[in-house]
Amino acid sequence: MCGIAGLLFASGSGPVGEYLITMLRALQHRGTDSTGAAIYRDNGKSRDLILRVLAEDVVGALAKISSAIASVGGNIRNVEMNVSIKEGYGYDRYEVAYNGNIRRLVEAVEGTRIAKIISVGRYVEILKDTLPVDEFNSTFKVFKMQGSHGLGHIRFSTESRVDLFHAHPFQDIDNPDIVVVHNGQITNYWKIRRTLEMKGVRFLTDNDSELIVHYIAYKMSKGMNFEDALKCSIRELDGPFAYMIATPDALGLVRDKLGLRPLVMGVSEEVLVGASEEGASKQ
């Protein structure tokens, strides 16, 4: 059992972090293994990449990561360091001017062997950790974040281990501004994963939820529009599931064909919201 939440502002911008944290607090009883959020900045002109990097606290770490980014043509605009989440590690934030292949940039940073990419995107920033909602909010100051839309997740693990990397949300490295949160199980996970891997899709975990974002991103990369890709997932993914998925300019809510996992939606003149429970959607 997990809790999912999401919202999209009609005006294009609003206190997305405040809304998400309030909704996630209402869902806390659905799990305490981890909390995560994806915040989308206002859509518009092309912009720098935002990287969230889990890096070892060792001498020369910043220099090694900076060198790796420069080696593929990236230019660091700003760095915020020492958002500590684990002893000996920092959850650092890099703003990088870069127009090349994003997978190549990620592989360069992780090739230092002292860093792992937790989030990368031009429009979205993902934050997640093995913390309950209030500690998560205190660590990352999510409550203060502004944006156009966002996703949130509370986890109770049933399918894979509990750590930062298996926490939601998940993104697709080749199409990083597509992000998913999920509740339920994908029972034909391995069959579809093997098919996608044969087509070059890179999986980072064995969490079945990660499959969904790769599946949708792959369909869209082959020319399918967002809505049709979501409809296709209902036909081709097996199991009881509900998920919410976002792109820079859209928010999708999907349940399995039998409606075996809860997902409710609310709409006002100000905002569209979705959540695992009605109580959260009314917050």
Known catalytic residues?
A: 2
Residues 100-109 as b/e (b if ≥16 CB within 10 A, e otherwise) read eebeebbebb
Q: Which residue is associated with the tokens 């518009």?
A: 44
Helix axes 189-198, 208-221, angle to 10 degrees: 40
Cβ neighbourhood burial of 166 (10 Å; 0-12, 13-18, 19+): buried
Query: Is 92 strand, coil or helix?
Result: strand
Instruction: Name the E strands within 209-279.
Output: 241-247, 250-255, 264-267, 271-275
What's the DSSP call for residue 283? -
Report in angstroms the alpha-carbon separations of 228 from 130, 224, 234, 247.
34, 6, 10, 14
CA atoms of 107 and 124, how far apart (whole Å): 19
